Each structure stands twice: as structure tokens, then as C-alpha cells.
Chains A and B, each alone.
Chain A
Amino acid sequence: MSTILIIEQVLNGLQSGVMLFLMAAGLTLIFGVMGLINLAHGSLYMVGAFAAAAVAGLTGSFVLALIAALAAAALAGAVIETLVIRRLYDSDHLDQVLATFALILIFSEGTRWVFGSFPLFLDIPDALSGPVTLPGGIEYPLYRLALIVAGLLVGIGLWVLIERTRVGIQIRAGENDREMIAALGVDISKLYTLVFALGAALAGLAGALVGAIQSVQVGMGEPVLILAFVVIVIGGIGSIKGAFIGALLVGLTDTLVGIFLPEVLKLFMEAAPATSTGSAIASMSIYILMSLVLIWRPSGLFGARA
């Protein structure tokens, strides 16, 4: 097991972590500010990827594709917030889960209706394709490095938005006491639509960025959604900082355990059973991580509420 392999795997873990962060940030904002469990967040991820694939297919431009992904997901988010979600803020979580689950089905079959059942093609832009050699002789795909940088930039942007701007103050105030900020004259329903659209846009961006190296197909959002829920539970619900740390933890655990556990087990047992036991335990690793964090801190790493 060489150092190069370990560094490469750490980079892989970081990359999947920052992409998870884009998903989890929107989810945790929406839950924190509005108290809403949005199962349809994965559908917004899918909307972003499909919009990007369609626009890239028509124009050949990856930049336009990303803009389209942001716009389409934000628009879809704003529309479902106004039409459906708005009616659910006062209902209990079960109603929210039911309604947003229905949205998943509507989005999935609607997407199939428009684009068909076959996966779409979305490729890495030429300028970012191929591997680069990092110091130490590590060959690493340039696009994945770009993903890490893009994810970190979005993270910094979000931090500035939440901590340093007027909208950010309103969002934080909304998390603490929504009646009070409504009484102070903030248009709470406009704020909710804005937060929802922002969360949706982040999911759509993640969908488009990841869609270029994965497959753009109906149902692509749901597996990511499950991981994103694990992230916000670990990080503490409602906390952007928690989502960031949680996403990196989940990304690194998922990648590193999956690769190194079978190798470690091979020291104790035969190769074939070591491989299958290792893979089986590795797929549980993030849930084990989540349980450990919850035992240690029941409200998550940065959760405000007990």
C-alpha cells in the first residue's frame, strides 16, 4: 500500500465530500429555517443534471449547461415551494414526508415523459479532461480537482452569505424564531421561497457537476439524498458548518474504509472472504459513523437544539 495510493484516496474522499456538501447544505438550510423535511431534494439534483445534459447537447457549452442547471433547479424549487411546500409548514413531519415523496414520483415520471427512459449524455469539458500530475508523481483527474475547488468556493460563498449579509441575518433569525422576524416586518414567505430556491440551486449544481462523470438518469438523486440525510444528522440539523464537516467526514469514511478495510482483513483471513466481508462492512461504515456521533452528541456535531 503506497503513499501515493493513500493520498489519491484522500483526494477522492474530499471530492465526494464537497459534492455531498452541496446537496446537504440546501437540505439542512431548508430544515433549519422552515422545519421542513424535503425528500424531493434528490429530484432537484436530477433536474439540474438533466437541464445541464439537455443544454450541453444543444449548445456544446459546459458553462451554459451549468447556468441552465442552476436556473432550472432554482426555478423548480421556487415553483414547488409556492405550489406545494408552502401549505405544509404547519403540518407535522409525516404529511411533509408524504407530500415530498409524491413529488419524487411526479418528478421521476415527468422526467421520463420528457426525456425518455434512456440515460442522457453529459461529458466533461475538454479544458478539464484528462489527468494532471501532482507534486509527488500522483496522477489525478483534473476535473475532480476542479470539483474540489468549486465545492470549496461555494462553501465560502455560502458562509459569506449567511454570516455577512442582510439576507443571511434574516435566514439565521428565521432559524431561531420565525414569528418574531415576521413581527419585525420581514416578508417571511418571500424569504422561505428564496431559501428553498437557493437550496434547490445548490442541489442542481451538484447534479450537473457530478452528472458529467456519472450517469444522468431518472432516479439518480435518491441514493445521494440518503447520504445527504446522513450528513446533516452527523453535522447537526440546520448547521451549514455541520453540513460541511459532516460531508467531508462521510466522504472520507466512505472512500477510505471501502478501500482499506478489505486490505486490513486480508492480514487476518483468506483473500476471498476478506474481500466480501470487507465490502459488506464498508457499505455500513457511514451508518456506523453516524451512530457513534449520535451516541457522543445526540444533536449532531454542531446541532443547536437538543
Chain B
Amino acid sequence: MKTLIMATAAAALAAGSAVADVKVGMITTLSGGGASLGIDTRDGFMLAIEAAGRDDIEVVIEDDQRKPDIAVQLADKMIQSEKVDVLTGIVWSNLAMAVVPAATAQGLFYLSTNAAPAQLAGKGCNSNYFAISYQNDNLHEGAGAYAAKEGFKNTFIMAPNYPAGHDSLNGFKRYYEGDLAGEVFTKLGQTDYAAEIAQIRASGADSVFFFLPGGMGISFLKQYADSGVDLPVVGPAFSFDQGILQAVGEAALGVKNSSTWSKDLDNAANAAFVADFQQKYDRLPSIYAAQGFDTANLLLSAMDKADVNDDAAFAEALKSADFASVRGAFSFAANNHPVQNVYVREVIKEGDIYTNKIVGTALESHANAYVDECKM
């Protein structure tokens, strides 16, 4: 197991900083099937840390191999022997559920760069837990709102049969107003969607909503494009991410997807982020990189305001969200989850590269459905 200890090699001390050093433990997926997501998270996070050039923050990075048991072991090791103050980086909700409650119960801060399951937003919320990404339902709610706005009357909806898949369809239905032509749960990891596409064709639907992250989405889109069914397709950003789009190719062109971030979002922080990321890593950033970058900047902003050992003050500093987010206007709702816009993007081709551009806003200053359940 490789341990990467990256101390930022900056000569200059941040002027007048008298607060203690902060040690960050990043647990993310760097090998196996979901590695591209973890690698983007890490690269976005480290881009911000290195740009800050401070020597009062140290980051320890470990690979969870997308396995909950490994993530728990790593968290224990980081808490007990590395003595980290802040944990971050987990991509998958099932891993987050295994690590986060135990970590916050031991007084650590957990800053989520991606996973934000409903349990941790509602009854299981904690003053030391912040989701910088979104609440898991947000993108699906955005897709539902977009479908309602577009006037879709008979949508066929589809997601894998696991907790996040059920949350996805519920999130979509929360804002969608028409009827359902069909509701299908596919197998997790399924690669052939011929049977579902035949059902879509036979259902008389006027549109399709799907949540199929990673390779599942690549397979579905390629097969859908070849099937001769040409109903409009809507999905959350996960199947249209920068790393995936090149593998989908032309089949994704024109598809609408909901996202809280896009590389063409018009604000100074985002323009600088996209340019710096491309220069350093020679590829376009993804939403995971953007969320990693924002998480690091939020942490740095809180370090300027409070001592990490003073839980209440540090939590308050985090909650003030006093940093320039690449997503533009950004604040925290009462349950420490973002209030932000959910945009609609369209897949386009720029030169040889497939990417997204923003075509509208699905939900403005949107929080989440669990704020009232959270009693901190």
C-alpha cells in the first residue's frame, strides 16, 4: 500500500498565522473500476493546496479500492496513528456511510468531496460533517425540474437497483410533474440494455430519464444511439462527465444533463481553475475535480479564521463558506449541505473533444429535502 505524503513546499509563511497546523487524511478510490473519479478528486484537491503554497497543512492520501472495509481500516489508521484533524475524499455513498459517522463521533471533521447520502443530511447530520459537493438527490431533482419545464408528459425512468438508484428516481419524481411511461430498476453493473431499450420503445414514452453512473452509462448510451429510438434523454451529470464522454463518443451528442458545475460556468474562480487544471494535468477537469478543488479552498478559508482544535469555532468558520467557489454563489443550508444552482448542460463537440455547455438553470439556490429532519 502506497502512502503519499505531500507536504506543500512553500517557503513563505502565511503572514500572521498563529493557528495550529492542519493534517488532512484523504481516502479516495485510486485503483479498480472507479479510479478515474478518485484521481480527479485528488488532483482537484491538490491543485488548490499547492496553489495556496502554505506549510501549515499536510495531506496524507490513501487508496480505498472502492471497498468499505478498506476505507474503514484506512480511516482508523489515519485517526489513530497519523492523528489527522480532517478526513475527506470518499467518492461512494456506501463507503461514506461506513466511515463518516465513526469519524465525526471521534470529533474529527469530515468534508465530503462527493458522496452525500440522505441519512447524513437528515437524522444523521452532524455539526462536524460538511458536504461541499451536493446532497445526493440534487442532480436528480434538477433533471426532474428540467423535465417538468420542458413539458415532458410521459417519461420512462430507469436506475440501478441499489440505494442510490432508488434515491435517484425519488429525487426525479419530487420535481417531475407528468406521468411515468415506465419505471425500471436494472442490475447494478449491468452492461447490456437491449431489453430495457425494447421496453422504452414499446412503452409509448415521450422522453427518458436515466441514472447509470460510470461504465453502465457508456453502455446504455452507445446501445440507445444504435437502437433507432430517438426520444430525448435526460440524466444527471455522472454519465456525462469529462472522463466518460470520450468513451461514449457521438452517441452522447445533444443529451441534456443536470449538474452543479460546468467548465464554461462564467466566474473568475472557475476560469482560473479550468486553465490551471489543464496546464498542470493536461486534461479537462471533471465535476469531481471541481468539487475536490472547492473542498480544499473551503478548508483553507476556515484555517484562516479559526483553530482546527476548537471544534465550534472551526465548524462556524467552515459554515460561513467564505471562499470563491468555482460554482459561483455558494452557501450552506442548516444541515451543512450546499445551497447552489443546478444547471442543465448539453453535450457538444469542441474540436475533437466531447464536452458540456450550460444551456439553462433547472433549480435556483436549491438546498435539499432533508433540512427539516436535521437537528444539530
- Interface of A with B (CB < 8 Å)? 2, 4-5, 8-9, 12, 15-16, 108-109, 112, 117-121, 123-124, 129-131, 139, 141, 143-144, 210, 212-220, 223, 255, 258-259, 262, 271-272, 275-276, 279-280, 282-283
Contacts of A143 in B (CB 8 A): 226
Chain B residues with Cβ under 8 A from A255's Cβ? 194-195
**CB-CB < 8 A to B267: which residues of A?**
none
Contact A118 B246 (CB under 8 A): yes
CB distance B161 to A119 under 8 Å?
no
Across the interface, which residues of B come within 8 angstroms of A109, CB to CB?
Answer: 31
Most buried by B among A15, A123, A129, A215: A215
Docked-complex contact B35 and A119, CB < 8 angstroms: no
Give B303-341 interface residues, CB cut-off 8 Å to A: none
In the assembled complex, the Cα of A259 lies from the Cα of B249 at a distance in Å of 28
Closest chain A residue to B180, Cβ basis: A271
Q: Which residues of A contact B104 (CB under 8 A)?
A: none
Residues of B within 8 A of A275 (CB): 183-185
**A interface footprint on B193-227 (CB within 8 Å = 1, 0 otherwise):** 01100110110000000000011101100110011
Q: In the complex, how many angstroms separate the beta carbon of B217 from the nearest chain A beta carbon?
A: 8
Known: A119-B215, A213-B219, A223-B191. A2 touches B202 (CB 8 A): yes
Are the CB atoms of B247 and A118 closer together than 8 Å?
yes
Alpha-carbon distance between A215 and B195 when the two chains are bound, in angstroms = 17
Which residues of B lie under 8 Å from residue A216 when comparing CB positions?
A: 247
CB closest residue in chain A, given B194: A12
Q: Do B222 and A112 have beta carbons less than 8 Å apart?
A: no
Instruction: Classify chain B: how many residues form its interface, as a range.
Output: 35 or more
Q: Residue B195 contacts which of A9, A129, A213, A219 (CB distance < 8 angstroms)?
A: A9
Asked if residues B194 and A15 are in contact (CB atoms below 8 Å), the reply is yes
CB pair A16–B192 under 8 Å, yes or no, is yes
Chain A residues lying within 8 Å of B191, measured Cβ to Cβ, are 210, 214-215, 220, 223
Instruction: Collect the chain B residues with CB atoms within 8 Å of residue A212's CB.
Output: 222
Q: Would B184 and A215 count as touching, CB distance under 8 A? A: no
Chain B residues within 8 Å of A, Cβ to Cβ: 31-33, 35-36, 39, 161, 166, 183-187, 189, 191-192, 194-195, 198-199, 201-202, 214-216, 218-219, 222-223, 226-228, 243-244, 246-250
Contact yes or no, B228 A283, CB < 8 A:
no
Q: Tell me, rounded to whole Å, the shortest Cβ–Cβ distance linking B114 to chain A.
A: 16
Residues of A within 8 A of B250 (CB): 123
Contact B202 A280 (CB under 8 A): no
Output the residue of A8, A212, A213 with the most chain B CB within 10 A.
Answer: A213
**Complex: A2 Cα to B39 Cα, angstroms:** 47
B195 and A12: CB pair below 8 A?
yes
* Cα distance A219–B33 in the bound complex, in angstroms: 6
Q: Which residues of B contact A262 (CB under 8 A)?
A: 184
Known contacts A5-B198, A5-B199, A214-B218; decide if A219 and B32 are in contact (CB<8 Å): yes
9 cross-chain pairs, A with B, having the tightest CB-CB distances, nearest first: A131-B228, A215-B218, A119-B247, A215-B215, A12-B194, A279-B185, A214-B219, A117-B35, A117-B36
Q: Report the Cα distance A259→B187, complex, angstroms.
A: 12
Contact A279 B186 (CB under 8 A): yes
Residues of chain A contacted by B202 (CB below 8 angstroms): 2, 4-5
**Residue contact B247 to A129, C-beta cutoff 8 Å:** no
Contact B194 A121 (CB under 8 A): no
Please determine whether A223 and B198 come into contact, CB atoms closer than 8 angstroms. Answer: no
Closest A residue to B184 by beta carbon equals: A275
CB-based contact B222/A123 at 8 Å = yes
Distance in Å: Cβ of B254 to nearest Cβ of chain A: 17
Contact of B33 among A16, A217, A259, A271 (CB under 8 A): A217
Q: What's the Cα separation between A291 and B195 when bound, in Å?
A: 25
CA distance A258 to B33 in the complex (A): 25
Q: Report whether B195 and A279 are in contact in the complex, using a CB–CB cutoff of 8 Å.
A: no
Structural contact, B247 and A120, CB atoms closer than 8 A? yes
Q: CB-CB < 8 A to B214: which residues of A?
A: 215
Chain A residue nearest to B196 in the complex (CB): A259
With both beta carbons as reference points, the residue of chain B lying nearest to A224 in the complex is identified as B191
- Whole-angstrom distance between the Cβ of B157 and the nearest chain A Cβ: 10
- When chains A and B are docked, how far (Å) is the Cα of A220 from the Cα of B214? 12
A196 CB to closest chain B CB (Å) equals: 26
CA A274 – CA B222 in complex, angstroms? 29
Once bound together, how far apart are the Cα atoms of A12 and B247, in whole Å?
Answer: 23
Q: A209 to chain B: closest CB distance in Å?
A: 12
A219: which B residues are within 8 A, CB to CB?
Answer: 32-33
Cα–Cα distance between A117 and B216 once the two chains are bound (Å): 16
Q: In the complex the two chains form, what is the Cα distance from A259 to B183 in whole Å?
A: 12
The distance in angstroms between the C-alpha atoms of A218 and B243, with both chains bound, is 14
How distant is the Cα of A220 from the Cα of B187 in the complex, in angstroms? 15
C-alpha spacing A217/B298, complex, angstroms: 34
* Complex alpha-carbon distance, A112 and B36, angstroms: 10
- Whether A129 pairs with B226 at a CB distance below 8 angstroms is yes
Q: Which residues of A contact B166 (CB under 8 A)?
A: 276
The closest CB in chain A to the CB of B247 belongs to A119
Are A141 and B198 closer than 8 Å at their CB atoms? no
Contact B183 A271 (CB under 8 A): yes
Residues of A within 8 A of B39 (CB): 117
With A213-B219, A215-B218, A259-B199: A118-B36 Cβ-Cβ less than 8 Å: yes
